[in-house]
Structure 1
């Protein structure tokens, strides 16, 4: 039960975390995309503007030098990062890497201070007798770009954190009605008529879920009430004829001139009536999920079951032995102990053709061993499943529900039951205190 209560809390934390992580990823993704787009667009637009400006300045400088070839004539440029040069194509003043460049704008690098490479743009304008160069350094643009990257990176971090806080707040708002709904559903435990959920929630998805749960609870309550009424009716209707049969048997057996064979038949009917009564009582408890009370002597029940099975086996060459005793009476109704132990003894007697069936009571456990055909690994794994019949069942009658009833009774009372093969036959173990071995010592 503890695991069942913790699981919903783990699920709510996971769903809450998913909402927060979704907001974080959304905020980071959008801001990072915006920052990347800003840098790319800035670089592209700046590059196009600089190249266009350099080409215009180079043409202007070229025309200026053609008009004023005097070396003392200075071409005025306001930007100190720009270097201009005009010379004949064969002049030694032209750097080697510039000499063969045709008219246009180029991205070049050169070694700077401390061996660092610097990037710059070079605009070239060529004429028959002169070539003009304008060199534009990237130093300031690189610094501006670095500052922009830092600014955008800080913006990404801040906006991502803001998205995380928004996600945390939104997760709380979203999960609050879900948590309230789960709490109200858990409060249904023990109530015969659950309180309606839908009036406590808004007309949204959670309200729709609450309405669906109300409808399901109504149908489930109706089924439970119908099941309880059916169990009560069946129990009453079956107990009444059984009580009539028991009374009639007692009256007939009280006759002093009753023939021995007739007395034996009546005793067999009496045992069958008692077995039916115990089975009805046990099934009624299972259907209600209620534990009955009472202190039962397991040895006395085992002796009664042994007598009943001896009479049913007839001429089979099987010896049924009961030995030992339990440490103390079992806190359960005699009907429940009789059904649980009786199914194990009955199965052992049914599948044992000859030899013995031994019921040994030791401490809190009862061991039922036989000399029958034994069990396969597949049978041992599925024998307690409802409707399963072992490979050794052959032509025997039965629906394969006896051992499943034993399992359900053990689950209800906290007992342990198991069946395991041994060298000859098999051994079934029923422990009334929730502990025991799978094999007889």
Structure 2
């Protein structure tokens, strides 16, 4: 038996079971109705024959043999229990012992077994009292009791309807589900054929706007995102190779020069060059590791963090090319990862320092109702509106910024935005509000107003 049966098999089995239960219940109701109808018809026939014999008694035409008036089994019994008339098949037999009707009723209907009567073991009895007092007579009509199927042909047809309806429901369900799942099978086959080198292919979309059609649209949308992600990954790998090759090439060249002419080598200068390239290589690797951690898991440990404190520490940590001014009226607290937020703010300040002409301004303020805002503003050349989203791409550098951005890895702003989004915040680049040329990075994070 299949451990994980197909959907069409499960649906067909479920539909067949439901059809079996419903058809069985319906057939039971029909059989009960047929049995009741047959019983009522039998009583009607017995009542008619019984009434004919009663008419013969009332008109004085009753004889010992009452066959001319009835076709059923009958006995006519007096008050003393003597059989005074009977149909031919009941003649010579003992009286049928059956209670007389109630005093206020002239008829009694019931069923008895093991009596002296031909044709069956149990009989339906229809008894009628004719007359009153000591001259009253009792007409007892008998008919064999009905079996389970009083009308065999009709009952057999009803019983055969149960497996027929079950099969019909199962077969119809199998065909319907097969037809409904046919587009899904095509989608599955096409997906099986799509590989990493063939991501431009798409699955067929049915014309109907049903669940399968929406599934095909979702699959194609997922393939679009996957194709974009793979393209970005390939570009990223290419950029990583390029970024790592530059410092590695410089390191190799410095070492080869030192080895080719060791007596003419300025050792301190060579070591300083090696250190610069090693630091650049280390910075690229550190940023790559940071991106990998953010892509793999953004559920880092969170705590109450004062952004003003982090900015002050970063500004005082080392001297910078531009003058950095911090404007804050007090603590601006959020809940997040301290090291991640420190990296975010450091990246923004380092980026502004590389591009500023002479001054960098950092503004920290709360924004109603519950937002912490950090603005990092420089007085450099700024960024054109059409390039403001590109700067957040990995390894993105603008042509006009290359001469001054030599100290960056091309990953800092991408990491900063990823960290902001991991904290349910945002990071955008916009114009300075005072109209002066330069760039203005605006970071918004959910503020933490809980007591410290």
More helix by share: 1
Taking structure 2 as the reference length, the TM-score comes to: 0.48
